[in-house]
Structure 1
Amino acid sequence: MYGKTFQTIRKRKGMTLKEACGTALSVSQLSRFENDKSMIPVDLFFEVLKNINTSIEEFDYFLGRQDKKQLFERFDLIETYTNNRQFDKLVELKTTIQKERPGPYSWDQFLIYFIDSLTYLNENGRHQSQQAVLNYLMQVEDWGEMELRLYAIFGFTLNVETTYTLMHTALKRSKLYQAIPQDIKLLYTILSNNFSTFLYHGNLQYAEETIRLFEDRYSENTELFYPHIDFMFNKGILAFKKQHPEDGEKYCGQAINICRLFRQKESEERYQKRYKQWRESYEDPEYHELIINIGFLEEEDA
């Protein structure tokens, strides 16, 4: 990944391998690095970065965006496979990730844990991967970005009572970090994911409480556009689930109209698709919807 990122930046700068090498190393050495076939010493890495007029902060930014893009795409696949009950596809994705030999605390390893957890959702007891994540979360006194993201995605796989308890734990233990814009955004992601989780499992009481938490404690503290629209739409979904289609159409329609008014085309299309599905399926007791928001790419566009 480091080599490929360097290659992407070099090519965008319009520089050849020879120009990037300078006197630091040979063209063959840099070529092997760019193709992820070998690594280069740190001091030489800094030198070739300088040769392509790129700071370490810029490199880290591009590296992070590539990592997040791949992670987002994989979660999108997990969401699609789960909603369509394509569990064989989930297993194939897990195998693909395992072949990449992820590190023990990398996001790819947590993806493997997440897929394992989805596979065991209908089993009695808690799967060992869920327990490993839960143990980690409970031992951390102050939750930052990593802990909030872990809970945001694993909350769905835990039993409803545990997810409910952890929701309040997350709100308490993240107070130290709530001055950081990225982390306060994650709180809205958590609340939205929890709403989806509670609704998926048919616990309307917890779903209603989640909406109240946002409206009573957090809605006045955010100038962000998306959370307000999202919870307006969630109120509509809850109304459909409670067999009140008139209210469902009202709230969902308001959310979609706001998106249209402010030219949020992608959000409008996504809500339109979900709205149509709920309007057609709300009377079907077997209909379930899973929405996994990991808060990566959307945050950067907010």
Structure 2
Amino acid sequence: MVYFKYGKAFHDLRIQHGFSLSAFEELGIAKSTLSNFENGKSMLSFDRLDFALQKMNVSPLDYSLMINNGEQDSYTSIFDEIEKAYYQRNIKQLQEIYQENSNGTKEQKLLAYSAKGLYQHLPADEIGEIEDYLKGIQFWGLFELSLLANIGDKLSDTQISYILDDLLFNKIYYENDLYYRVLIYRFLYKVILHYIDSGNQNKAKEVIDISQSYFMPGDVMSRVIINYAESFYIYFYIDEKKGKNQLLDTLKFLKKIGAEDFRKTLKMQYDKRIFRKNHFNK
């Protein structure tokens, strides 16, 4: 059960910090409720989990690092490999990551699908496995957010809407950690493009607005990708010339600062939606 790893991580942190089960009763969390959570029988509501972690002075990142029984670091390392291969357009490496993990544990399979979804369409059964896993999530740790950052746009619109509502409702919990915000921005960027591609103007605008509400002063590159997605929105729904100029300006800026792998990845999205359209319309 997906609850188990959250409860076990909380239990380990509670013991590590010297708190008894009864120490959280003042937060409205009964000993029996906390015991059931720690033993994987139920899930704490998000706000109570947040308050309990705050009482122990545990950050979301610290909790996330405990969730996968010490395996979080190895998973994060693989996600870093996936991200690097994606930006370098190293399809061979993405395929190797898929092959190495596709017959492993549930988490390894999800890692495999995360890599595969970046170079080809995922079949319905693999998307179904991802959605079944994410339906049980109430705390979006590094593992879950990394999944969203890579292939969250492949989920059903119903699942995407649920996730957006959850992230927005608990925004204050995630927005204070830069690593979390970067992963959320990557997810939101792809979701905006997903809604633009499907012709859903209202949802695309809604996600643009959500994205902008997460910005912190130092989120420069995250602003770049969200503004890039917004430029596609402008191109398709408001002013074609203005949108195209904004897209090209972003690509020129990335070339100027030497972010070549990043620029090529964004250029690929430009070619897919605009260059080919203009080329075939000639």
TM-score range, shorter chain: 0.5 to 0.7
Is residue 2:121 matched to residue 1:118?
yes
Note the alpha carbon deviations across 1:240-278, whole angstroms, 9 max, x for none: 333842112221133234334544344344444544554
State which of 124, 148, 151 in structure 2 corresponds to 1:151.
148
Counterpart position of 1:189: 186
Q: 1:72 aligns with which of 83, 86, 106?
A: 83
Q: How many residues align?
A: 207
Question: Whole-Å Cα distance in 1 between the matches of residues 153 and 242 of structure 2?
Answer: 26
TM-score w.r.t. length of structure 2 = 0.57
Q: Secondary structure at the match of 1:240?
A: helix
Distance 1:95 1:136 in 2: 18
Q: Which residue of 2 aligns with 1:102?
A: 104
Q: 1:114 to 1:275 in 2, by over 3 A?
A: closer
Provide closer, same or farther for how the CA distance between residues 199 and 141 of structure 1 changes in structure 2, counting only shifts above 3 A: same
Q: Is the 8 A contact 1:160 1:198 kept in 2?
A: no
Any idea what the Cα deviations from partners look like across 1:121-156, whole Å, max 9, x if unmatched? xxxxxx454344334333332222122222333422
Q: Looking at both structures, which has the greater relative contact order when contacts are Cα pairs under 8 Å and sequence separation is at least 6?
A: 1
- State the structure with more CA Rg: 1
User: CA separation of 1:236/1:131 partners in 2, compared to 1, >3 Å: closer, same or farther?
Assistant: same
1:245 partner amino acid: E
Aligned partner of 2:179: which letter? Answer: Q
The amino acid of 1:264's aligned partner reads A
For 1:52-107, what per-residue CA distance to the aligned partner results, in whole angstroms no more than 9, with x for missing partners?
xxxxxxxx9996786345433665799979xxxxxxxx9x8798346x7422322x
- How far apart are residue 119 of structure 1 and its match? 4.1
> How far 1:191 sits from its partner (Å)?
0.9
CA distance in 2, matches of 1:78, 1:270: 8
Post-superposition offset of 1:235: 2.2
**Superposition deviation, residue 182 in structure 1:** 1.0
| TM-score normalised over the length of structure 1 | 0.53
2:243 aligns with 248
Establish whether residue 223 from structure 1 lines up as the match of residue 211 from structure 2. no
* Shift in CA distance, 175/260, structure 1 to aligned 2, threshold 3 Å: same
Q: Secondary structure at the match of 1:259?
A: helix
SS of the aligned residue for 2:228 comes to helix
Contact preservation (8 Å) 1:130, 1:154: no
Counterpart of 1:178 (choices 166, 175, 178) is 175
Q: Supply the distance in 2 between the matched residues of 1:66 and 1:114 (Cα, whole angstroms).
A: 13
Tell me if the contact between 1:156 and 1:194 (Cα under 8 Å) persists in the aligned partners: yes
Question: SS at 2:184's partner residue?
Answer: helix
Return the letter of the residue paired with 1:218: Y
Measure, in 1, the Cα distance between the counterparts of 2:264 and 2:89. 20
Q: 2:184 is aligned with what amino acid?
A: L
1:204-236 per-residue CA deviation (whole Å, 9 max, x = no partner) reads 221122112223x123x2412111221222222
Q: Which runs of 5+ in 1 are unaligned?
A: 1-59, 82-89, 121-126, 286-302
CA shift in 2, pair 1:278/1:132, >3 Å: closer
In structure 1, the partner of 2:60 is none
Cα deviation digits, residues 23-64 of structure 1 (max 9, x gap):
xxxxxxxxxxxxxxxxxxxxxxxxxxxxxxxxxxxxx99967
Residue aligned with 1:223, SS: coil
- 1:6-21 matched pairs, under 5 angstroms: none
Tell me, in whole angstroms, the C-alpha distance in 2 between the residues paired with 1:141 and 1:190. 17
Write the distance in 2 (CA, Å) between the matches of 1:95 and 1:151. 17
For 2:193, the aligned partner's letter is S
Identical aligned residues as a percent: 12
For the Cα contact (< 8 Å) 1:233–1:255, is it kept in 2? yes
Cα distance change of structure 1 residues 280 and 261 upon mapping to structure 2, 3 Å threshold = closer
CA-to-partner distance for each residue in 1:162-206, whole Å, 9 max, x for gaps?
312322223334643432221121121121121122223232221
SS at match of 1:118: coil
For 2:114 and 2:270, how far apart are their aligned partners in 1?
31
Aligned-partner SS, 1:229: helix
User: Distance in 2 between the 1:70 and 1:189 partners?
Assistant: 16
